[in-house]
Structure 1
């Protein structure tokens, strides 16, 4: 193949690939694609991160606290403390200090945690009980209203000659009623000089009741009250039925973010959504679960190893080799374990004295030294051996060698009689 033909063939292939590439590029259509990676680790660890960011964008100074000890150094005037954390471990002294902090000019906002108990006359929530605020379930209120309506007797219809009440049209009241009927599940807050209310999606399962009639502002849905605000000394206390509306997933809905700004405006904000510190065990489970599992397995295997038998298991003895000698040995081992060495030694000594009485009448009436002399004459054993064998056994346990020697001496004396 000549060089010119090779050049022409290469140029043709290059042109073919170029045309094919232009055709394919003309068929391709670019499109945008968004990949959702979910919330960041910081947002997962902090459910109120969006609320902090929103307040900072409004020009407010926001700080985060990890415990109630923050109120020791926190001034009251010009401060708002958002107590959004769990208060199960709060002590009465801490509750008094919080209310005293609010009474000195601070603004305390907290979440009602427990329901009112009619039998005990309290809810167990130290802050709620101190302020005279009670929390109920909304369905409980509906049942009570239904029972009260059934107990009411129907009134007689008015007579024709009696004056009839005249309905007075109130545009503002009618407008408020229309708004509630349009959004019965939403909490509404009416402000002066505003035509429409603000809307929040509080949990409608709970209702706040001001038993002492101290609240000067409130917000409610169609069937329950979810926000109460009252004066406390020189400061303010705000109580909400739940704080979920300010968490990351809900603060952007309705006017939830606006309410947070409205409650904290013109003040410095301290967010306290972890009122109780975790104990050491909880922190270890949270940060080092694998190490705790490994430690648990190590302890389990260690106890299992210590509880194992040392050496191989003994098989049960065959019935063909159970002879009288083995029974005697087993009986002796049993007596040794349960009665001790002294019982066995005393038994042998008593047996020797009993045989000596048969060989020498009046043996039992002799003194100990004379008895030993008689035994020495009858058994032809030296007095030292007799005294060593017949002496009272010591209280302390003898060694195996000494005990064996003592038994051998006693058996030798008994056999000689």
Structure 2
């Protein structure tokens, strides 16, 4: 008893020492690692814009068809990621009627497939034609970040002049040398959020508060309206801004239609997740959003087969396992002893006749067969009701014709039915010989 208590005390003391050492030397710390965008951010390019609008108290939602206009309130804001989504004159009329009632539409002009040499697009843009707006060639030297910046992360120091091969080699060299030094950490913390661009490439817009906001548009495609050069034209844009002073076209313009406004621009990337944090892009979105609901009308995005396989892999394998379990249960269920497998080969005609004869014999139906054959034969002989003398005369005639004895003919036609298989077979054979001579 004393040894047991001693062991318990030593164990408790050891556990107490371990607990004291853990609380004394354990130090909790947190570390954040940038693993890039998650699947939702990669699928929704405007996720950061949605979160920003939610932070300032505006409700936002996603839509994939212009028919959303039927349920929008007049004070809402509709962002259309491509003017091609207003795909016929009827949809253009619906959009303009909604704007006339007080709505605000922000439309990104479709620039894909535009041929500057012929000054036309592969497909008609009904909304731009209605607004009398055309697409013009802009500045091709536009660049705000390296193409590999999103892949390698914001901490990768890349310049637009570097080729992809040089950028990857420089990035790998920095990893091998160790980039987690205090000097580089301080440098990364002081890194500006805005890309290094020339001041003349920025668009400055005044606000109601007397300040100016700066925007960085992709100026490779610009918008032109005759009202930019002639103030007397009806339905001209009421507000626009140029990137450079000598530009004929502009990156965005606004039209007043009834009680609402249409904002037309060529660059939707300023509000995508990788650029909304640059300059005053987010604040510009807030100014255009108004106070009502904000709807993002983006192009439909269909999930790839690999994404769907990863998303529903658990349900797929669980359903497959349940189906396999049910099939095994169904195949394993049986009652009584296992029956032998039936023969697949078909028997011959003689075997079939023999089996039928044995069945009739066991079922006591042979006497009925013999009686029916006798009745039919006596009806043909017209000897259904005859006396013994007539029977003997008829037997003599049949004996001479068939070669059977008189006794066998009388036994077959009027005798007692057979009691054995041999007798039955002989009587049936005699009846068939008599029938053959009639």
State the TM-score bracket (shorter-chain normalisation): 0.3 to 0.5
Normalising to structure 2: TM-score of the pair?
0.45
